[in-house]
Structure 1
Amino acid sequence: MSQFDTQEEQLEYLVRELKRDSGRYKDLVIPKGKLEKRRLMRSFMNIRMPEPMDEDFLKVQDQFLQQEAREKGIVSISRLASVKEELGCAMEHGERMVLWRGDITTLAADAIVNAANSQLLGCFVPCHGCIDNAIHSAAGVQLREECSRIMKAQGHSEPAGTAKITSGYNLPCRYVIHTVGPIVADTLTDEDCRLLAGCYESCLRLAAEKGLKSIAFCCISTGEFHFPQEIAAEIAVKTVRDFLRENGELDTVIFNVFKERDYEIYREIFCGGSSSVSCSL
């Protein structure tokens, strides 16, 4: 474990290095409790601008985050039952689709999808509950640096409905595909629906072009971006089904949900139900 004998020693080192790196918080008193220190480490990672960190820090950070991932429990794709197997539903390509409720940062898929913002740099709010924050926090500071390089080369914000791919770093997945979903203001529009469908299609095409065999989607735009859950799920399933109909590259597409309500919505759609409101796609 490099020069440290325990994870607690690694954590102490990482917090002190991030505190020193922050400059603004160099006089902050580090708490004694392990959970408080871990939360502070995540907070420092969240607010840190995308700049290189020295190799000694990265080595310890990587060891720490990878051990933490193992302790959370890495989920193999082979352990997940397909929609056809688990739900007994006769949806087309149900044998290639999975509905799974759990923590997307534990999935050992070829790629997981991050619901990003237009800056594509992750969430800067310390310990925020969004998936963008969770993915960047589990991946390590390198993910924000790679996203920054992509955005600098691009020269403008990422449009809604498009996607970019990066390494997964300390996540169990090989890659992270970042997509920006539409923000629903007051009334849902057909353009919102078109852009959300574009998110799913852009991610699927990137995965296929990269030769990936599995991809896990979160519920894009349904949280902070206020897209209605039922319609978002219908768009997700329809777009994936249409893609699988025309493309044989992907073996497994996972619809990852975190809330029981989202699980029920997807289950109803897979088994032949639909919401009373829809978009023109």
Structure 2
Amino acid sequence: MNKIEQLNFLIKELISEQERYKNLKIPKEYNEKRKLLRALMNVREPYEASEEFIKVQDEFLKTESEEKGIVELKDLATLDEQFTEKSNKHGNKISLWQGDITSLKVDAIVNAANNQMLGCFVQCHACIDNAIHSAAGIQLRNECDELMKKQGFLEPTGSSKVTKAYNLPCKYVIHTVGPIISGTLATDDCKKLEACYKACLEAAIENGIKSIAFCCISTGEFRFPRDKAAEIAINAINDFLDRNDEKIERVVINVFKREDFEIYKNLLG
């Protein structure tokens, strides 16, 4: 199958799963087809799909990932290389990089999840949870569902869980639930965000993960102030590396927005 044929097949398979989709029309334009596929994947409940669906989906998503461009760890400068005029505590082990976290070929990327830990169900939402699940494929939600059913309760803030990465270039996804800010930032909120970073790094060591890329946890939909979040992230990473320097080869601080890059740049460089 070519990409159009793959898209049509995947859309038709997802439509056939639900009676409510029976009158849904498949658009003719490629970008609209792609948007519909993502939307159908986003709202799909966690359950098994046919082997053929998984095969075609995996081929499609991996081709898409390669076409988008895969960024390898060797392509990322360390802080020592980025900011040569200043000395950073662990500048040889930390990188600051602006880009799409789903393109990173590191051991693990961090997903800012919600406490249901099943990914974002909002169609084509711009959050990182949605982006990661959309690029990984439906297997990621299924694995998360298995973990949550086994646990039997919602994921606590400041903890973490490790899953496979499926069609992402990385090997694993580490999911963590950050604090939600509804009013004035409290000391407890800061402690919970710090716990997220430490829980992810501890999970990395427990699973033999040597390189990890963090997103800006809680600063999007969860409304944690960006400058304070960056300060907490840097302190938590440095503190962890003080005690576990030999166990982690690289920590990537991944930002998507230029605003966040400038905040980290001012703090690190």
Shared fold per TM-score greater than 0.5: yes
Among candidates 217, 224, 244, match of residue 227 of structure 1: 224
Among candidates 197, 203, 207, match of residue 204 of structure 2: 207
1:36 and 2:32 correspond: yes
SS across alignment from 1:179: strand
Structure 2 equivalent of residue 278 of structure 1: none
1:177 and 2:174 correspond: yes
Whole-Å separation in 2 of the counterparts to 1:192 and 1:123: 22
Amino acid at match of 1:84: D
Whole-Å separation in 2 of the counterparts to 1:242 and 1:23: 53
Whole-Å separation in 2 of the counterparts to 1:113 and 1:23: 35
Residues 16-73 of structure 1: CA deviation (Å, up to 9, x unaligned): 1111113321210110011000000000000000000011100000000000000000
Q: CA deviation at 1:147?
A: 0.2
Structure 2 equivalent of residue 165 of structure 1: 162
Whole-Å separation in 2 of the counterparts to 1:43 and 1:133: 10
Among candidates 215, 218, 221, match of residue 218 of structure 1: 215
Whole-Å separation in 2 of the counterparts to 1:8 and 1:152: 36
**5+ long unaligned stretches in structure 1:** 272-281
SS across alignment from 1:255: strand
When normalised by structure 1's length, the TM-score is 0.94
Whole-Å separation in 1 of the counterparts to 2:115 and 2:196: 13
Equivalences, count? 267
1:263 and 2:264 correspond: no
CA contact (8 A) 1:46 1:125 kept: yes
Amino acid at match of 1:223: G
Whole-Å separation in 1 of the counterparts to 2:194 and 2:178: 9
Q: CA deviation at 1:265?
A: 0.5
What is the root-mean-square deviation of aligned Cα atoms in Å? 0.6
Q: How does 1:77-226 map to 2 (within 5 A)?
A: 77-88=73-84, 89-226=86-223
SS across alignment from 1:230: helix
Residues 201-238 of structure 1: CA deviation (Å, up to 9, x unaligned): 00000001111110000000000001000000000000
Residues 65-115 of structure 1: CA deviation (Å, up to 9, x unaligned): 000000000000111000110122311011100000000000001000000
**5+ long unaligned stretches in structure 2:** none
Structure 1 equivalent of residue 71 of structure 2: 75
SS across alignment from 2:205: helix
Structure 2 equivalent of residue 279 of structure 1: none
When normalised by structure 2's length, the TM-score is 0.98
Among candidates 42, 65, 71, match of residue 61 of structure 2: 65
Whole-Å separation in 1 of the counterparts to 2:180 and 2:75: 34
Whole-Å separation in 1 of the counterparts to 2:18 and 2:29: 21
CA contact (8 A) 1:22 1:44 kept: no
Amino acid at match of 2:115: S
CA contact (8 A) 1:105 1:138 kept: yes
Structure 1 equivalent of residue 248 of structure 2: 250
Residues 150-192 of structure 1: CA deviation (Å, up to 9, x unaligned): 0000000001000000000000000000000000110000000
Whole-Å separation in 1 of the counterparts to 2:152 and 2:210: 31
Amino acid at match of 1:270: L
Whole-Å separation in 1 of the counterparts to 2:68 and 2:210: 24
Whole-Å separation in 1 of the counterparts to 2:219 and 2:140: 23
SS across alignment from 1:114: strand
SS across alignment from 2:197: helix
Runs (4 or more) in structure 1 with deviation over 2 Å come to none
Structure 1 equivalent of residue 9 of structure 2: 13
